[in-house]
A = this chain, B = another copy of it.
C-alpha cells in the first residue's frame, strides 16, 4: 500500500499554497522548481484539485493557484479523496462503507475491514493542512 505520487506531490504543493494563503498566488512553475516535480504532471494534479473546488486559479504573468478555503478547513482526507483514484481500501467495501461482495459471502470479515477503513478515514479527517506550518 502506497499513496500515489499524485497524492504525495499534491500534498506537498498544497503545503506551498498554505504558506502563501491570503497573500500571493503560487505558480506551478515555482513549485516545479522548488520541489523537483514535473510541471506537466503538476498541471494534471491541479486540474483535479480545481475541479474539486479546493483551489482557484488566475492566468497570466502574475497568475497561479491559491486555496479556496483556509488551511485549517482542508483535511488531509479531503485531499487524498480527490487525488487518489481509489480510496476503497478493500474490494468488498464500497465508497459509502457498505459491503459489496461479489460472492455474497456471509463471512464476518467485512465487519473488520469496514472498521479498518473507518479508523484510517477518521485519522485523516482529523488532520488539516494547518497541522504542519
Contacts and interface: CB of A to CB of B under 8 A. Distances in A.
Interface of A: 1-5, 7-8, 11-12, 15, 34-36, 76, 80, 84, 86-92, 102-103, 105, 107-109, 111-113, 115-116, 119-120, 123-124, 126-127, 131-133
A119 B35 CA distance: 24
Given A15-B112, A34-B105, A127-B116, A3 B89 contact: yes
B119 A127 contact: yes
Nearest to A89: B3
Nearest to A92: B8
A115 B76 CA distance: 11
Given A34-B105, A35-B105, A113-B8, A89 B127 contact: no
B109 A12 contact: yes
Give 8 closest A-B pairs by Cβ, nearest first: A112-B132, A12-B109, A36-B103, A119-B123, A15-B109, A1-B84, A8-B90, A3-B89
Given A1-B1, A119-B123, A123-B120, A112 B131 contact: yes
